[in-house]
């Protein structure tokens, strides 16, 4: 049975490390990193099996930054229904200096996450994670990053991938409330290749209308434009960013977006929650054509509206920072694990959420839009291609936050934990109408993890696999992957990535 190939795109912004053996230190953060592609087949086996049925397979094409060479994993990787796996990039490429992108193609839709873990054992960095892009996620002519910075602590590393089959040219437009707008000249980019550049370097090539350059430190937002080479026709692209702390151990990544909406959802919007005082901030970018009036509503675990931020007027391209511990809402939000809805008066907006704690945690995730409609007769599905639970807290552990984004209570929400071999290890109810824990109120959140869901291997206390969240109402999901460390003032390091809405029934 032959099927059309489905494709997803990943960017790889740091060098990879072959295991075992040393690799040169990477300039970003002065360390080396193992780079892993985690993939998942969220599709069931057809019933009945067609006579010409063959097991699904995937291939990975690696594309060096700025190069015309192609590095392909030639052997088909079998990926059975609900099976997940990991691909250690260094063992495929055997090139510790590789920077570029990857295109995953498969005979069924697959979803993927890119994970990087520092090789330091005594003083590790935070893990870095971000999700794959489907070709439908590409922006036609524009892509947005709600936050970029260049200072002593962080220098945003920007990755732009051309997803066209022809050469394009890209322009970087930086916006700062303090300094204004600065634009680079057009940069050529080969077909399906990547541009990887630090914000500080790009800003050296950027000018405003008076031919003045920005000064450092810089903090603002970014719009990346793409054109077909030689003309002004828009071209397709995707953009991601990484930030690695200089002089510290925090690191995180986040995806850009191809547009926005007038409502965005933030499952983690806490203020000084818990002993480590986890708190959140949101950078909101106007991706529309006119001024946007924006405000944030904070909701409790019971679904009660506990606070509303003051409004902010944001000019197109620019951003504004909202803090869950801002003095205007602090009395209502302090000590609570909240979710948030970001509103605009009509202009589309994009957002980046960051969660920080007193014990070292700093994560980032992209603000979530309303998922598309579920298929007729089917639940809403959200997929997390990589979920892990180490038996030791010094290993990686995954915590899920599920937010109901409907204006109706969710009465049937299950978190399905699939082991790497495709076996359903646990079905964890986080909302149900006829038993505990009860319905999930509109805009409220609940949590799950492999330990609480009893998905661990009883012999090893370990879980490695993927998750599908099924729900009767639309939900959004964020996964936080963290570990315990003993490095100076840091005892917890981690990052977050977004669950991927998935609604497709394969026809065989």
Is the per-residue pLDDT at 505 higher than 70? no
Cα–Cα distance measured from residue 352 to residue 370, given in angstroms and rounded to the nearest whole number: 15
What would the mean pLDDT of 439-453 be, rounded to a whole number? Answer: 98
For residue 273 the two structure tokens come to: 């929650």
- pLDDT classification of 28: cutoffs 50, 70, 90: very low
Is the per-residue pLDDT at 25 higher than 90? no
Identify the pLDDT of residue 47.
80
For residue 229 the two structure tokens come to: 């080479």
The residue with greater pLDDT, 417 or 503, is: 417
CATH topology for the 6-134 domain? Hypothetical Protein Tm1070; Chain: A (2.60.290)
Tell me the three-class secondary structure of 465-502, residue by residue.
EEEEEEECCCEEEEEEEEEEEEECCEEEEEEEEECEEC
pTM for this prediction: 0.94
Residues of the chain with CATH 2.60.290.11: 6-134, 137-255, 263-366, 380-501
Identify the pLDDT of residue 13.
73
What would the mean pLDDT of 368-389 be, rounded to a whole number? Answer: 96
In a 10 Å sphere around its CB, with 0-12 CB exposed, 13-18 middle and 19+ buried, how is residue 354 labelled?
Answer: buried
CATH topology for the 263-366 domain? Hypothetical Protein Tm1070; Chain: A (2.60.290)
What would the mean pLDDT of 141-158 be, rounded to a whole number? Answer: 96
Q: What is the largest CA-CA distance in the chain?
A: 68
The residue with tokens 């590789």 is 98
Is the per-residue pLDDT at 508 higher than 60? no
Is the per-residue pLDDT at 146 higher than 60? yes
Span 395-423, pLDDT tens digits: 999 999 999 999 999 999 999 999 999 99
Compute the Cα dihedral for 209, 215, 220, 221 and give only its sign. positive
Identify the pLDDT of residue 51.
85
The residue with greater pLDDT, 27 or 30, is: 30
CATH topology for the 137-255 domain? Hypothetical Protein Tm1070; Chain: A (2.60.290)
Region of poorest pLDDT, from 63-77, 106-120, 158-172:
63-77
Cα–Cα distance measured from residue 91 to residue 385, given in angstroms and rounded to the nearest whole number: 21
Compute the Cα dihedral for 259, 265, 266, 270 and give only its sign. positive
Identify the pLDDT of residue 102.
84
What would the mean pLDDT of 113-124 be, rounded to a whole number? Answer: 83
Identify the pLDDT of residue 399.
98
- Beta-sheet strands, E only, within 67-217: 70-78, 84-88, 100-106, 111-118, 128-131, 133-134, 139-140, 142-150, 157-162, 168-176, 180-184, 187-189, 194-198, 206-207
What's domain 380-501's architecture?
Answer: Sandwich (2.60)
Q: Contact at 8 Å (CB) between 140 and 236? A: yes
- Beta-sheet strands, E only, within 300-437: 305-308, 312-314, 319-323, 339-344, 349-356, 362-366, 380-389, 397-404, 412-419, 424-432
DSSP state for residue 379 in the 8-state scheme = -
User: Given the DSSP bridges, would you call strands 412-419 and 187-189 parallel, antiparallel or unpaired?
Assistant: unpaired
Q: What is the mean pLDDT of the chain?
A: 91
Is the per-residue pLDDT at 145 higher than 50? yes
**Closest by CA position to 300, among listed 339, 350, 358:** 339
Region of poorest pLDDT, from 84-88, 306-310, 341-345:
84-88
Percent of the chain past pLDDT 90, that is, above it, reads 74
Identify the pLDDT of residue 103.
86
Which element (helix H / strand E) includes 236? strand 236-244
Is the per-residue pLDDT at 95 higher than 90? no
Span 183-231, pLDDT tens digits: 999 999 988 888 999 999 999 999 999 999 999 999 999 999 999 998 9
Q: Contact at 8 Å (CB) between 172 and 184? A: yes
Cα–Cα distance measured from residue 70 to residue 59, given in angstroms and rounded to the nearest whole number: 13
Is the per-residue pLDDT at 91 higher than 90? no
- pLDDT classification of 460: cutoffs 50, 70, 90: very high
């Amino acid at each position: 049975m032959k099927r059309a190939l489905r494709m997803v795109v990943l960017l790889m912004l740091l060098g990879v490390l072959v295991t075992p053996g040393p690799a040169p230190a990477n300039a970003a953060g002065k360390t080396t990193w193992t780079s892993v592609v985690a993939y998942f087949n969220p599709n069931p086996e057809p019933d009945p099996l067609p006579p010409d049925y063959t097991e699904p397979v995937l291939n990975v094409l690696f594309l060096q930054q700025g190069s015309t060479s192609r590095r392909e994993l030639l052997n088909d990787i079998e990926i059975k229904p609900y099976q997940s796996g990991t691909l250690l990039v260094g063992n495929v490429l055997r090139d510790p200096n590789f920077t570029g992108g990857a295109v995953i193609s498969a005979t069924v839709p697959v979803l993927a996450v890119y994970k990087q873990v520092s090789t330091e054992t005594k003083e590790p960095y935070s893990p870095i994670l971000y999700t794959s892009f489907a070709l439908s996620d590409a922006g036609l002519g524009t892509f947005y990053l709600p936050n970029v910075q260049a200072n002593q602590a962080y220098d945003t590393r920007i990755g732009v991938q051309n997803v066209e089959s022809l050469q394009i040219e890209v322009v970087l437009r930086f916006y700062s409330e303090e300094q204004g707008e600065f634009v680079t000249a057009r940069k050529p980019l080969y077909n399906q290749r990547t541009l990887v550049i630090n914000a500080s370097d790009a800003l050296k090539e950027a000018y405003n209308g008076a031919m003045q350059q920005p000064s450092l430190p810089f903090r603002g937002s970014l719009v990346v434009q793409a054109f077909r080479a030689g003309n002004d026709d828009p071209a397709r692209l995707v953009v991601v960013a990484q930030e690695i702390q200089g002089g510290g151990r925090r690191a995180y990544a986040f995806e850009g977006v191809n547009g926005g909406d007038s409502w965005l959802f933030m499952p983690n919007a806490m203020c000084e929650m818990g002993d480590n005082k986890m708190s959140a901030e949101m950078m909101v970018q106007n991706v529309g054509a006119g001024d946007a009036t924006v405000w944030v509503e904070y909701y409790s675990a019971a679904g009660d509206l506990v606070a509303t931020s003051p409004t902010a007027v944001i000019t197109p391209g620019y951003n504004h920072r909202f803090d869950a511990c801002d003095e205007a809402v602090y009395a209502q939000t302090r000590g609570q694990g909240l979710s948030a809805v970001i509103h605009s008066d009509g202009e589309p907006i994009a957002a980046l959420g960051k969660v920080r704690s007193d014990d070292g945690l700093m994560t980032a995730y992209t603000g979530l839009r309303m998922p598309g409609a579920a298929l007729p007769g089917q639940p809403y599905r959200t997929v997390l291609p990589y979920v892990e639970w180490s038996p030791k807290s010094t290993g990686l552990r995954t915590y899920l936050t599920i937010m109901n984004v409907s204006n109706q209570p969710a009465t049937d929400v299950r978190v399905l934990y699939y082991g790497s071999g495709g076996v359903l290890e646990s079905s964890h109810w986080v909302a149900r109408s006829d038993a505990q824990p009860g319905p999930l109120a509109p805009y409220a959140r609940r949590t799950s993890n492999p330990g609480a869901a009893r998905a661990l291997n009883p012999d090893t206390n370990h879980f490695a696999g993927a998750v599908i969240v099924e729900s009767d109402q639309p939900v959004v999901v964020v996964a936080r992957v963290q570990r315990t460390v003993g490095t100076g003032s840091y005892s917890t390091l981690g990052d977050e990535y977004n669950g991927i809405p998935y609604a497709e029934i394969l026809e065989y």
